[in-house]
Amino acid sequence: MKDEQLLLTIAVLGGTGKEGKGLAYRWARAGYRVVIGSRSEEKAASAAKEIQEMLGDGTAVAGMSNRRAAKEANLVVLTVPYAAHRDTLESVKDELRGKILVDVTVPLVPPKVSTVQMPAAGSAAQEAKQIVGEGVEVCAAFQNISHEHLLDDSDVECDVLVTGTSKDARAEVVKLVESAGLTGWDAGPIENSVVVEGLTSVLIGINKKYSSTHAGIKITGAKRSAD
């Protein structure tokens, strides 16, 4: 276990859902302290206990309210459905100052979830930046990874595109992607999140058309630098 993992606490808000639970599992397995946030402390505690049972003794996972989780963490990951996006951010924005927020939200609008439908801000991540204001670095990542992959210990043939408000923030999130056992790519400024988030609807449509559950994306023709 690396020192940086011992020092870093990751909050997964909405961590009782499938995507959030999968990411929490991956980071807890990598040695990070993980706190699962939820509107229901009882549900958060139950999800934390489930992950601890999967990984065995010595796993540092706790469940608590969204606000307390955001306060205790060094880095916050938001995995709520789009319908709860604004309310959740409004409830924790004071706890996010000086931190990186990784927004996993996709602005899906049922029933047409396979049709790209972006908010007025341009994307959920850009909307998040408007809500939390200055003093918070916002990145978008993990929108195109199926939860079926995350809770499976096998290799994942799907890459993660990371957009965000600064190069340094994106670099930190790429490291987080890699610690989860995935391949991350710096995909540029937060304005590019419209493409990353929109791809989710495309992948949902592909899954439906071709009877799959976990279509993903893979970057080819580029070599990653060893920095």
Length of the chain (residues): 227
The pair phi, psi for residue 210, each rounded to 5°, is: -110, 20
All structural domains of the chain: 3-209 (3.40.50.720)
Residues 6+ apart with CB under 8 A from 103: 78, 124, 125, 128, 138, 139, 140, 141, 193
Distance CA 176, CA 86 (A): 24
pLDDT of amino acid 98: 96
Written as one string, the DSSP assignment of 48-69 is: HHHHHHHH-TT--EEEEEHHHH
Residues 6+ apart with CB under 8 A from 143: 104, 105, 106, 161, 196, 197, 199, 200
DSSP single-letter state for residue 81: -
pLDDT of amino acid 1: 43
Estimate the crossing angle of helix 18-30 against helix 167-179, to 10 degrees: 80
Q: What is the pTM of this model?
A: 0.94
pLDDT of amino acid 5: 52
Closest CA to 9 of 28, 34, 44, 30: 34
| pLDDT tens track for 170-204 | 999 999 999 999 999 999 999 999 999 999 999 99
Beta-carbon count within 10 A of 1 CB: 9
Separation of CA 20 from chain center? 7
| Cβ-contact 118, 97 below 8 angstroms | no
Query: 158-169: b or e for each residue (b if 16 or more CB lie within 10 Å)?
Result: bbbbbbbbeeeb
- Tens digit of pLDDT at every position of the chain (227 positions): 444 555 689 999 999 999 999 999 999 999 999 999 999 999 999 999 999 999 987 778 999 999 999 999 999 999 999 999 999 999 999 999 999 999 999 999 999 999 999 999 999 999 999 999 999 999 999 999 887 778 877 778 899 999 999 999 999 999 999 999 999 999 999 999 999 999 999 999 999 999 988 889 999 999 876 55
